[in-house]
Amino acid sequence: MPDSGRIAERLERLWALASGPGGGADRPAYSPAEAEAMLLVAGWAREHGLEPGIDAHGNLWALPAGWSGAIVTAGSHVDTVPDGGRYDGALGTVLGLELVADLEPARGDLEAGAGERARAGLLVCAAEEAPRFGAGTLGSRLMAGTIQRSALSQLRDAAGVTAAEALDAYLRELRELPRVKPPLDRWRAHAEVHVAQRRALRTLGVVTTVASPRRFAVQVIGEAGHSGEIPMAARHDALAAAAEMVLAVEAAAHRQPDETVATVGTVAVSPGALSVIPGEARLGIDVRGISSESLAEIDAEIRASVAEIADRRGVRATVEQVRGGDPATLDGDLVDAALSAAREHGIHASPTWSGAGHDAQHIAALAPALLLFVPLHGGESHTPQEGASMDEILQAATVMNAVLSACALDSRRGV
Amino acid sequence: MPDSGRIAERLERLWALASGPGGGADRPAYSPAEAEAMLLVAGWAREHGLEPGIDAHGNLWALPAGWSGAIVTAGSHVDTVPDGGRYDGALGTVLGLELVADLEPARGDLEAGAGERARAGLLVCAAEEAPRFGAGTLGSRLMAGTIQRSALSQLRDAAGVTAAEALDAYLRELRELPRVKPPLDRWRAHAEVHVAQRRALRTLGVVTTVASPRRFAVQVIGEAGHSGEIPMAARHDALAAAAEMVLAVEAAAHRQPDETVATVGTVAVSPGALSVIPGEARLGIDVRGISSESLAEIDAEIRASVAEIADRRGVRATVEQVRGGDPATLDGDLVDAALSAAREHGIHASPTWSGAGHDAQHIAALAPALLLFVPLHGGESHTPQEGASMDEILQAATVMNAVLSACALDSRRGV
C-alpha cells in the first residue's frame, strides 16, 4: 500500500531543497540543485534495497542489487522550472519508490517464484524542464536517441553555459554514484505519474496521446531609423510587423480544435532602444496538438500569414522550424490495464491527452510506457501554488502499482 | 574662413578614437572614450588660444584666456551611440573651433574695439546620447536645471553602473582640466551644427522647433500558464494584448500630421519561455511632434486603445508617462539671421524642425540658441554609414559664423 505519510515527507524534503525568489522550488536542469535532489532520492532508494547509479545522460537508475532479470520501473524527474511547484516531477519520483515498496518487500516470495517475474526499480530522468536550455526532456531523449549528445553543445543557458558543460558539472556532483548503462534489454514497462497541467481534467487521467511541441523561430528584418526623424509612412518597423504575426498565430490556433494551441512565448527586438525604430524582431512560437492534420494546417497558416504580413509591410521574414514533433501514442494495453485497474478499485479515471511533453513519451520508444495524471488543485502548474490532493495521489499510485505488478508477472511481455 | 582640411582631419581623429564591433564610432556617454575625446578637443582648443575647463556636469568649456566679458559659443557633443557615425556630435564640435578660428584671430582688433564686443568660445556638452543610460542630453539638461543631479543615481546602464557613478569616473579621467562654472551671465548666444537625421531635408536646415520626446511605459499583466495545456479560449496572453497595443500606437500616429510620430522601441515578456504563455509584457513608447495639440491627441488615443484592448482581453494594463516633453521653439531672431546670412552667401537654406532632441534646445533656456542641420548623405544617421558633404559642411559653418559674428558685435543682446 502506498504510504501517504512517507509520500508527503519526501515531497516536503524535495520542495525545501532549493527555493527561487518567488518562493517556489528552484532546481534547474543539470544544476547542482538537481544533482542534490538526485542524491537525496538515491538515498531513499537504498532504504528500499535498491542500488542507485547514474547513466551517461545523468538519469538516475535504482534497481534491485544483483538482479539481472526483467524489470519494471516508475519515476519522473526532480528538476524544476524557475519557482516551480511542489508536485511537478517530484510526485512521480516519490511514487516510483512507492511502486518499489509495493512490489519488492516480499522478495523471498519473488525469488522463490520465478526467473520470469520482473522486479521493480526507479528511473528518474534528468533535465526534463525546458527553461534553462530552451529544450526539455533531455535525459529521456538522449537515452532514446532522438537527440544526440553533440546537440548539447549548441544549447546555452542565459549565462552562456552549454548543456554539455552543465551535464559534465552535474555528473561530477554525482560522482559518488556508480556509472550504469540503461538496462534497455530487460525493461518490461515504465510508468510515470505526473500532476495534471490542465485544470479541465477532474479525474485520474490515463494518457493515450502526447502532443509533442513543434517550435518555430520567426525573424523579421525591417529598417532601423531614428524614432523622431522617420515619418510613419516611410517606416518598415520590424516590431510592428512582428506584432501582426503574434496576432496571426493566435487567430490561426483559434480556428483549430481545442487540443491544438499556439503560443508566442518569446520576443526580442534589435536594437531595442526607445530612440530607434526596431530594425529586427524575433519571435519564438510553440505549437502543439494531438492531430497531425490540425498541426499541418496551422503550420501552413502561420507561414502564409507571416509571408503576407512581411510582403505588405516591406520587411523580410523567415520562419524556421527549430524543433519538429509529432503526437506520440502511448501503449494501448497499458492504457486499458490502467482503466480496468481503476474500475476494480472504484477509482474514477478517464482516457485523456497531454499538451505538455513528458519523459514517458520518449521512453515509449524503448519500453511500453504508462502516463497517469493526478488532477491539479491550487494554482497553475509550474508555479509555487500548484497543488494536488493526497487522496487522488494515492489513487494514482494504486492504479500504477496494479498495472506494473501485472506487467511484472506477465512473462509474455518479452523480457 | 572655415578650413576644410582641418575639419576633415579632426573628424578623422575623433572617428579613429574608439570603434565598436560594427566598425562605427563608439564613445558612450560618460565613458573613458568620451573623456578621451574631450581631452583631444581641449588640446585643439588650446591651439586656438582658448583655455579649456570642465564644469560640474562634465561639459567642456574652452574660452578666451583671461576674458571676463561677453561670449558667444558654438559646439556640440563627442559621445556617440554604439557604432555611431562620423559626423553626429563630432561635426558640430569641430565646427565650434572653426567659429573660434574665424572670430578670434584678429584679437588685436577685437580688444582695440570694445568691451562690449563678445568673444568666441567652444562648448562641448557631455552625455548627449541616450542609449547608455536611457536618457540623453544629460550635460545640457543638468546645466539648464531641467534634470536634477540626484536623478543620475536612478539611471543605470546595462552593467548596473549608475550615471552618477559614470560621471564621477569620467570627471576623474578629466582631472587635468580645471573645474569651471558655466559662464551663464555673460553668454550672448550659442550655435550647434548637426548632421540631419531626416533624409527628406536636402538643403541647409535652420531649425525653428524641436520635438522633445515623450516616453511612455506600458505594462500588461495577463495570466501565465503552460503553453500546451491552456486552451486558446481560456487564455489571457499578455504578449498578444501587447501586440494589439503596438499596432494601436502605430495606427494612432498614422492619423496625425507627418511631424507626429510614435514608436514602440522596446518590448519584454515574462517569463519569456517557449513553454509558457506570457504572463506579463512591457512596452516602451516614444512619441514626438512639434504640435502640442497633436501630442495631446495621440496621448489620449494611445491611452484609450490600451484600456479598450486590456478590457476586451481580460488583462490589466497601465500606461505611465516616464518622460514629459513639449516642443521647444528656438530663438526667432537667430533663425531669421541665419536665413538672411544664407541668402547673402548664396546658400540654399530653409526653416525646418527636428524630431530628434539636441543640446541646443536645452541651452535655449539659458541663451539664444541656433541649431543648423547639414543634409544627411550615405547611410542613416546613428550608423557607421552616416555621411555629409564637405561643401555643405562649409556652408553651415559660414552661416553659423556669420550669425554669431553679428551677435558678438551686437551689444543690445544684453551681455
CATH number at residue B25: 3.40.630.10
pLDDT category, A414, cuts 50, 70, 90?
low
Share of chain A above pLDDT 70, in %: 96
**pLDDT the model gives residue A134:** 84
Asked whether residue B200 is assigned to any structural domain, the reply reads yes
Q: State how far the Cα of A159 lies from the Cα of A35, in Å rounded to an integer.
A: 19
Average pLDDT (A259-275) is: 93
Average pLDDT of the segment spanning A320-332: 91
- For residue B415, being part of any structural domain is answered with no
Query: Is the ipTM reported for this complex over the cut 0.85?
Result: no
Same domain, A35 and A50: yes
Q: Name the residue in chain A with its Cα closest to that of B322.
A: A274
Dihedral angle computed from the Cα positions of residues A241, A247, A248 and A253, in that order, rounded to the nearest 10 degrees: 160
pLDDT of residue B112: 44
pLDDT for residue B212 = 79
- Report CB contact under 8 Å: A240, B226: no
Of A227, A258, A383, which has the smallest distance from its Cβ to B261's Cβ? A227
Q: What is residue B108's predicted lDDT score, i.e. its pLDDT?
A: 52
A386 in the same domain as A255: no
- Of B308, B323, B338, which residue sits at a domain end? B323
Which one of B323, B342, B372 terminates a domain? B323
pLDDT of residue A381: 87
DSSP, collapsed to helix, strand or coil, labels residue A101 as helix
pLDDT confidence bin for A354, thresholds 50/70/90:
very high
Residue B178 and residue A321: Cα distance in Å, rounded?
A: 61
pLDDT at A109 over 60: no
Tell me which of A135 and A338 has the higher pLDDT.
A338
Beta-carbon separation of A254 and B232 below 8 A: yes
Same domain assignment for residues B98 and B154: yes
Query: Beta strand pairing status for A316-323 and A214-221?
Result: antiparallel
Question: Looking up cell 497553475, which residue turns up?
Answer: A380
Instruction: With respect to residue B396, please indicate whether it lies within any of the assigned structural domains.
Output: yes
Burial of A308 (0-12, 13-18, 19+ CB in 10 A): middle
Better pLDDT: A276 or A250 = A250
pLDDT above 90 covers what percent of chain A?
86
Q: Look up the domain containing B308 and give its range.
A: 212-323
Burial, B217: exposed, middle or buried (Cβ in 10 Å; 0-12, 13-18, 19+)?
Answer: middle
Long-range CB contacts for residues A293-299, cutoff 8 Å, separation at least 24: A294/A256, A294/A257, A294/A259, A294/A260, A295/A214, A295/A260, A295/A326, A295/A327, A297/A256, A298/A252, A298/A253, A298/A256, A298/A260, A298/A262, A299/A214
Test A233 with B258 for CB contact under 8 angstroms. Answer: yes
List of E strands, B150-260: 187-195, 204-210, 214-221, 225-226
| Res. A413: pLDDT tops 70 | no
Confidence of residue A274 (pLDDT cuts 50, 70, 90): confident
* Cα–Cα distance list, B7 to B2, B92, B391 (Å): 8, 10, 12
pLDDT value at residue A111: 53
- Tens-digit pLDDT profile for residues A223-245: 998 899 899 999 999 999 999 99
Q: Count Cβ atoms below 10 Å from residue B388 Cβ, excluding itself.
A: 22
Are B8 and B87 in contact by the 8 Å Cβ rule? The answer is no
B269-321 residue pLDDT tens: 998 988 889 999 999 999 999 999 999 999 999 999 999 999 999 999 999 99
pLDDT value at residue A359: 96
Q: What's the mean pLDDT in A124-148?
A: 94
CATH of the domain at A238: 3.30.70.360
Q: Is residue A354 part of a domain?
A: yes
Tell me, what's the pLDDT at B187? Answer: 97
User: What is the structure's pLDDT at A94?
Assistant: 98
Task: Please tell me which of the candidates B250, B273, B285 has its beta carbon nearest to residue A265.
Answer: B273
Q: CB distance from A230 to chain B under 8 Å?
A: yes
Check residue A350 and give its pLDDT.
97
Cell of B290: 512639434
Taking all residues of chain B, what is their mean pLDDT, rounded to a whole number? 94
Regions of chain B with pLDDT less than 50: 112-113
Q: Show which of A267, A301, A323 is a domain's final residue.
A: A323
Residue A114 above 60 pLDDT? no
When CB atoms are compared, the residue of A81, A227, A266 closest to B263 is: A227
Set of chain B residues whose Cβ sits within 8 Å of the Cβ of A240: 246-247, 250, 264
Question: Looking at this protein, which amino acid is placed at residue A373?
Answer: F
